[in-house]
Amino acid sequence: MSPVILRLALPSPLRRLFDYLPPAGVPAALQPGMRLRVPFGRREIIGILVELTTHSEVPADKLRPALQLLDRQPPLPASLFKLSLWAAQYYQHSLGDTFAWALPTLLRQGEPAETRIERIWHVSPGAQLDDPRLSRAPRQLEALRALSQHPHGVPQALLERLQLNRDSLKLLLDKGLIHIEERRQAPAERHGAWLAQAELPLNDEQRRAFEAVRAGFGQFHCALLAGVTGSGKTEVYLQLIRETLEAGKQALVLIPEINLGPQTLERFARRFNARIVLLHSALTDRERLDAWLAARDGAADIVIGTRSALFTPLKNPGLIIVDEEHDASYKQQEGLRYHARDLAAVRARLENIPLLLGSATPALESLHNAQSGRYALLRLNQRAGHAQPPRFIRLDIKSLPLDSGISGPLQQAIRQTLEAGQQVLVFLNRRGFAPTLLCHDCGWMSQCPRCDARMTYHQRSRELRCHHCDHRERPPAQCPKCNHLDLRPVGAGTERAEERLSTLFPDTEVLRIDRDSTSRKGSMDRLFQRIQHGEPCILIGTQMLAKGHHFPRVTLVAVLDADGGLFSADFRASERMAQQIIQVAGRAGRAEMPGKVVVQTHLADHPLLVQLTEQGYFAFAEQALSERRGAGLPPFAHLALLRADAHQPGQAEAFLDHACSLAEQMRDELKLETVELLGPVPAPMERRAGRHRAQLLLQAGNRATLHRLLTPWLQALEQLPGSRSVRWSIDVDPLDLF
Ligand code: ADP
Ligand code: ZN
Ligand code: ZN
């Protein structure tokens, strides 16, 4: 009989599996999904068993045995194992690396995939303090005496605190006077009813949405909850989760931004008497693994987290919710370039459970899926409770003087709001003081030495910073080109607007919320506490402010600059701009007081802006979808982007030229004429972080056709000469075309 051969996925960028013989002395109980330690070159690494076979391309004398089997059970449930296979195939990524994104770090390093074992130190039955063996060992006697004060034993972690000397303990152990009990950490128990707080009675729209999703419990289906900001989507989620818990199942909730985590957690924890885990970036590897295991073993009822939480295994999955499903943060931009919303749909199908996507500004892709019947469309058109929709004012700033980006009429509106004792939110999606530094004499501008981009002037830290490669330098005292001294910051970022607003409104607190002001741990929480306190204040911030927050005292929202999205080369720019404006506007008037949104623009009559502000997001989206259909753009076409970069100019293009000819050739052989190849072209930002970048776009009307080409093509690309001297990656369904 031919020997069993193990085919493993290894943490390698190569899109292939690796063959090994079983480790010595391992019974035949090997199952796909188990981890094995294997030799790889001169290193040892950990791989995942994908399949067992009897045939290998590798000559028998070259096959090496695996060293050690690490699991008695596959650590991933079957559904997540399949999800990883699906993701690797769909996103054209190495399977080994896909598993690496799906598994917690400690599991990749070989840690047991089981809850921690606690070690508890006890005095052995019959041990006596006057044991003759201790007569000349005062420290051991001391340790034994200390331990005997604890009839239930002392957990390992407390040994230090009790100042128990390890050497003495070891000697006592050898004498059999004490022993260690090993105990698996028992999962936290839960008692009583699920609800810790009464539910709000749902309004008619909410009830219809709720019933529609509940009717689908226990089977796969996708619903898009398209509800205007403040329409009570979260309340619908909460009641569906209660149903899920009552059915003895777990819920997984994805949120776009971890800054929203504490707020979401608090709202959920107030509502439920349930074991909730929040997966966030500040967790240690051990904490992350513990949370992962709790979810997998059914010791957590609700899991909340950002993008990567989609890979959290659940023992009894009941419902997946993706909140703010339009948010770009669900797309991973490196390594495995997956979209968590799209993978959530695949996972829901594998688990046979419903998926609920929610947003006030659904992605055009999702709306299209709803229109074509793939998702159920559930609309909430009214704000919940007594809140009114905010009123929009397009403020034409053509020929109006701007003071750090703030016009006179806007200043007035801010003043009135503050005088009425309410709060103001100013939105400007640009960090720093000014987007560039300009020499007034010769026109020199602060260019990044490593990118085709300008460096932003940050006044607080007195530096020029490139937001693309994070290059930092001191601003020059004089112009590097003409030596004149008249260097001026041009344009306004949040720092400058903050400074100006503080001067204009000296008696009012101005709170800046952007990546710079919230980088320190806890600073975001402190800022939010000040806002919730309710005193009149001005919030100035980037899109961080626009996402999901509930600020009951904000009645005026000001968008300082709406024009960027109206004339960008990126076909998604207008969709993003519309989502941003509506989301940030949605922070206004969420409680009893009505809200107002002032949009400063030079293009007050732009049809897109008029439609958005007068008829709302769904009218805009209809229009945008029909334009996409006309232009043959996503979601009416499917894209894949091959990006490459290299140190030398021209190298990336040369590689892409090769890749392109190869694709043309394969396209003809496989009769896939409908796949279009666009490029290669230099990337819109040709040089970034010192590397020269180029790209090749593939487009097809049919997803399956595109994939029929992608799979063999990428296999072949790995073999291309030159594929090692450039850095390249494939992005299936890219969000950004650069
Ligand atoms: P969304 O998630 O759509 O932005 P929320 O669920 O946060 O909306 O609800 C917005 C506000 O309306 C919250 O203060 C919430 O308590 C309130 N609310 C939601 N549903 C109801 C309801 N059925 N009756 C009264 N108030 C509600
Ligand atoms: Zn100059
Ligand atoms: Zn740079």
* Residue range 5-109 in CATH 3.20.20.450: no
β-sheet bridge partners, residue 590: none
**Residue 373 Cα to ligand 3 middle (Å):** 44
Amino acid, res. 560: L
For the domain spanning 391-432+492-629, the CATH number is 3.40.50.300
| CB-ligand 1 contact for 239 (6 Å cutoff) | no
Q: What is the pTM of this model?
A: 0.89
Interval 696-710: pLDDT, tens: 999 999 999 999 999
Torsion of CA 429, 226, 349, 237, to 10 degrees: 90
Alpha carbon separation from 680 to 292, 641, 647, 673, 697 (Å, rounded): 42, 10, 17, 18, 7
> Is the pLDDT at 228 greater than 80, yes or no?
yes
Interval 439-488: pLDDT, tens: 999 999 999 999 999 999 999 899 999 999 999 999 999 999 999 999 99
H or E, element range at 349: helix 340-351
| CB-ligand 1 contact for 84 (6 Å cutoff) | no
> Is the pLDDT at 721 greater than 80, yes or no?
no
Closest CA to 715 of 93, 82, 97: 93
Ligand nearest, relative to CA of residue 227? 1
> Is the pLDDT at 568 greater than 80, yes or no?
no
Closest CA to 39 of 21, 52, 54, 56: 21
pLDDT of residue 670: 94
- According to the annotation, is 537 in a ligand binding site? no
| CB-ligand 1 contact for 358 (6 Å cutoff) | no
Average predicted confidence (pLDDT) for the chain: 91
- According to the annotation, is 660 in a ligand binding site? no
| CB-ligand 1 contact for 407 (6 Å cutoff) | no
| CB-ligand 1 contact for 583 (6 Å cutoff) | no
638-732 matches 391-432+492-629 in CATH topology: no
**Residue 338 Cα to ligand 1 middle (Å):** 31
Cα separation of 168 and 545, whole Å?
Answer: 57
Q: Which of 372-376, 479-483, 529-533, 643-647 has the lowest mean pLDDT?
A: 529-533
| CB-ligand 1 contact for 313 (6 Å cutoff) | no
| CB-ligand 1 contact for 250 (6 Å cutoff) | no
The class (CATH top level) of 204-380 is alpha beta
User: Regarding beta strands 509-513 and 638-646, do their DSSP bridges make them parallel or antiparallel, or are they unpaired?
Assistant: unpaired
H or E, element range at 645: strand 638-646
> Is the pLDDT at 162 greater than 80, yes or no?
no
**Residue 510 Cα to ligand 1 middle (Å):** 28
| CB-ligand 1 contact for 384 (6 Å cutoff) | yes
Interval 647-658: pLDDT, tens: 999 999 999 999
> Is the pLDDT at 77 greater than 80, yes or no?
yes
**Residue 446 Cα to ligand 2 middle (Å):** 11
Interval 665-716: pLDDT, tens: 999 999 999 999 998 999 989 999 999 999 999 999 999 999 999 999 999 9
H or E, element range at 652: helix 651-669
Domain segments of the chain as ranges = 5-109, 117-184, 204-380, 391-432+492-629, 638-732
For the domain spanning 638-732, the CATH number is 3.30.70.600
pLDDT of residue 27: 64
By alpha-carbon position, which residue is closest to atom 26 of ligand 1?
Answer: 385
**Residue 193 Cα to ligand 1 middle (Å):** 23
- According to the annotation, is 222 in a ligand binding site? no
> Is the pLDDT at 225 greater than 90, yes or no?
yes
- For a mutational test of ligand 1's pocket, the pick from 203, 205, 231, 235, i.e. the residue with the most ligand atoms closer than 8 A to its C-beta, is 235
